[in-house]
């Protein structure tokens, strides 16, 4: 009788632990998702952010040890390479999609980056009016 009672208590403890662990994992995922939505910087109307296309290690040049592709004040056009992301030992270039100038660099050399993480703050240039 005592053995049966201790087995029942053990099963109840294990299932309670499994249930609480599942609840903790769900709450952690909800918190992480909410943080990802609210932590993004809100840009001014004429400011945009160039973001990381994937996770990896940020390299400011076209290759390790090379000169940085852009600095504060650098002019950008669509297609300009602003840096690289190293993934599995291969460098993938990061291209600008806008015209403007770099106002702020938000990442350090050899820093781990996540997908959609802001890397550069860019002040957009006014498009000339069509004649």
Residues 25, 9 share a domain: yes
CB contact burial 12-45 (16+ within 10 A = b; e otherwise): eeeeeeeeeeeeeeeeeeeeeeeeeeeeeeeeee
- Assess whether 24 and 85 both reside in one domain: no
Is there a domain that residue 102 lies in? yes
Expressed as residue numbers, the domain containing 59 is 47-124
The total number of structural domains that make up the chain: 2
* Span of 40-49, 57-66, 113-122 with lowest mean pLDDT: 40-49
pLDDT tens digits, 19-52: 666 667 767 776 665 444 445 555 556 899 999 9
Whole-prediction pTM: 0.60
pLDDT category of residue 7 using cuts at 50, 70 and 90: low
Lowest mean per-residue pLDDT among 15-29, 72-86, 87-101: 15-29
Residue 129 maps to a domain = no
Instruction: Round the average pLDDT of the chain to a whole number and report it.
Output: 79
Residue 130 lies in a domain: no
């Amino acid at each position: 009788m005592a053995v049966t009672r201790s087995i029942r208590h053990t099963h109840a403890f294990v299932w309670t632990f499994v249930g609480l662990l599942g609840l903790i994992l769900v709450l952690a995922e909800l918190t992480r998702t909410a943080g990802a939505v609210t932590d993004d910087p809100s840009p001014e109307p004429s400011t945009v952010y160039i973001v990381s296309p994937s996770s990896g290690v940020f390299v400011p040049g076209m290759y390790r040890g090379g000169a940085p592709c852009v600095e504060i004040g650098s002019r950008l056009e669509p297609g300009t390479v602003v840096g690289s992301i190293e993934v599995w030992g291969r460098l993938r270039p990061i291209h600008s999609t806008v015209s403007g100038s770099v106002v702020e660099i938000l990442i350090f050399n050899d820093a781990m980056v996540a997908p959609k993480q802001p890397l550069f703050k860019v002040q957009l240039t006014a498009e000339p009016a069509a004649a």
